[in-house]
Chains A and B, each alone.
Chain A
Amino acid sequence: MAHQAHSYHMVDPSPWPIFGAAAALLTTSGLIMWFHYNSTALLMAGLLSMLLVMLQWWRDVVRESTFQGHHTPTVQKGLRYGMILFITSEAFFFLGFFWAFFHSSLAPTPELGGQWPPTGIKPLNPLEVPLLNTAILLASGVTVTWAHHSITEGNRKQAIHALTLTILLGFYFTALQAMEYHEASFSIADSVYGSTFFVATGFHGLHVIIGSSFLTVCLLRLIKFHFTSNHHFGFEAAAWYWHFVDIIWLFLYMSMYWWGS
C-alpha cells in the first residue's frame, strides 16, 4: 500500500464545499424572497442547510485530525496562517463600519442638527451597562487564557472550569446586550446614528455568538479528551477569535459609546 512521502494533508473528496455554496445561494435568495415577497421558506431552507454543512464539515475536520492524525506540524502551520488571515479579514470588515461611523460623526450634517449625537437622540450611558459589558469581556479574556495554561499543563479539571466560565461570561454579555437593545430609546431607523450604532454593535454581537459557539465546541472536545497538552490548535484558534472579539468591543466602546455620546 502506498504511503504519502510528504507531510501535507490530501483530503478525501467531500461534498461540503459545493453544498455550502448552494446553501449561500439559498440564504441570499431567501433574503430577497423575505424582503420583497414576504416568504420565508427559502431563507429557512438556506439557513438550515448552512447549519448542516458547517456541522458536517467541521465534524470531518475533527475526524481527520484527532482520529486520523492528518494534522502534522506542517498542516497545523497552514491552519494557523489561515486563522490569522481570516481574523484579519474580519478586522477589515469592522473597519468599514468604523469608517462609516467616523464619516458621519466627525462632521455632522445640518440635517442632524450639526451635532453628534444628533438632535433628539438620547444615547446610552457609557458608565452603566456598557461598562459592565466591557468588564465582562475583559474577564472572559483572562479566563480563556487561564484555560489555555491549564491545557498546556495537563490540568483537565481546571481547563474545563476555566473554559466553562469563559462561555458563561460570553452568554452574560449577549444577554445584557439584548436587554440594552430592547431598552434603548432609539432604533436602527433613527438617522445615521441608529444605523451606525446598531449595525456595528449588531455585527459585533453576532461575532460574540459565533465566538461563544466556537468555545462551546472546544469545551465539548476538551471534555471528550480530544486535546493534548501540546496539540490543541482548535482551542487556540477559538481563543484568538475570542480575543479579537474583545478588542473590537473595546474599540466600539471607546468610539461609539464613550466618545460618541
Chain B
Amino acid sequence: GLDWGCGAGFDLGLNCGYGAGLDRPLPPRDNRPTNRRPPAAAAQAQSCPPVLKAPSPCLTAAAYPAPGRPRSAPSLVLPRARASLCPRSALAPPASPRGAACRPSLWPPVGPRASGRRQEPAGSFRAARRRRWVVRARVPAMYYKFNGFTQRLVGAAASAAYNPQGLKPIVSTESPALVFGTTTKLASDLPATDSFLGKNQVPDLQKLFQKADGLPVHLKRGVPDKLLYRTTMALTIGGTIYCLVALYMASQPRSQK
C-alpha cells in the first residue's frame, strides 16, 4: 500500500485517519446523520481558532468517502487537515440531505451501508488501515502475451507468457579484457559486436535532423537535398510540358503519306 505520510505521525492533509491525535474519535465513514452532534458553535469557536473551522459542509462531505468503496483516492481537502490540527473539534459529517446535495458526483450514491461490512469502532487500527488511501487494481489471474501482428496483448498459456518474444537474453556486448595491456587506446568505445560493418551514426543524424532550422524534412540536409529536389522538379515539370506537346501533336490528324 502507498503511504502518503500518514504513518509518519504528521498529517499531510490527506484523509488517512492518522493525525495529530489518534485518540480522537473519527467520524463514521458514511454520510448518514449521526447521533454525535457537533459541539456548539460557540464552543467550537472557543476551542478552535476561526481559521480551523470547517468552511463548508460540502467540502467536508468530499472528505468522507461513501461506503462501499473500501479504498478511495486520496483527497487533499484542507478542512480535514485543519480539523485534525484542532484536537477538540469533533467534526461530524453533515446531515444526510445536505450531504447528499453536496456530495461530489464521483462518489456512488450513499445508501444504508452498501458495503454490508460490519461497522468497526471508528478509531480502530483496522478501520484506519482501511481508510488509507490506497488504490489497488484487481485483475483476474490470467496470462498474456504480446501479439506482434496486431500489436496487442492477447490471452495466452502460462508457458507462452513466460517466454515472451524479444526478451531472450541479449548476446553480451562487452569487449574482452585486453590481454597485453598497453598505453594504446581501444579502437573504439563500441561493444565488440557493433564494430562489425561500421559505426553507429544514428545519434549524430538525429541531432542533425532535429535542428530547429525551419527546413522541411526533404531539404533538411542542405545542398545535396536541394540538388536532388531541383533535378526531380526539372525532370517532372519539363517532362510534363513535353508530354502535353507530344500528346497535342499526336492528336493532330495525319496527312496521307
Contact = CB atoms under 8 A, between A and B. Distances in A.
A101 B143 CA distance: 48
Nearest to B194: A156
A23 B239 CA distance: 8
Given A67-B209, A160-B196, A52 B235 contact: yes
Interface stretch (B35-43, B101-109, B113-121, B197-205): B197-205
A66 B151 contact: no
A52 to B, nearest CB: 4
Given A12-B218, A15-B218, A225-B202, A230 B240 contact: no
A66 B220 CA distance: 14
7 contacts: A22-B236, A29-B247, A49-B239, A67-B209, A154-B171, A156-B193, A157-B196
A19 B236 CA distance: 6
What is the predominant secondary structure among interface residues of chain B facing chain A?
Answer: helix
A29 B239 CA distance: 10
B205 A67 contact: yes
A49 B236 contact: yes
Contacts of A152: 165-166
Contact of A60 (B208, B217, B235, B238): B217
A56 B168 contact: no
Interface in A28-76: 29-30, 32-33, 36-37, 41-42, 45-46, 48-49, 52-53, 56, 60, 63-64, 66-69, 73, 76
A60 B238 CA distance: 24
Given A29-B247, A42-B246, A67-B208, A156 B239 contact: no
B202 A226 contact: yes
A52 B231 contact: yes
Contacts of B202: 66-67, 224-226
B137 interface: no
A63 B217 contact: yes
B124 interface: no
Interface in B151-188: 151, 165-166, 168, 170-171
Interface string B209-221: 1101000111010
Contacts of A45: 235, 238-239, 242
B2 interface: no
Please list the 7 inter-chain residue pairs (A to B) with the smallest Cβ-Cβ separation, ordered nearest first.
A67-B209, A12-B216, A152-B166, A154-B170, A45-B239, A22-B236, A225-B200
B232 interface: yes
A56 B218 contact: yes
A67 B229 CA distance: 20
Nearest to B220: A63
B20 interface: no
B135 interface: no
Contacts of A4: none
Among B218, B229, B236, the one with the most A-chain Cβ atoms within 10 Å of its Cβ is: B236
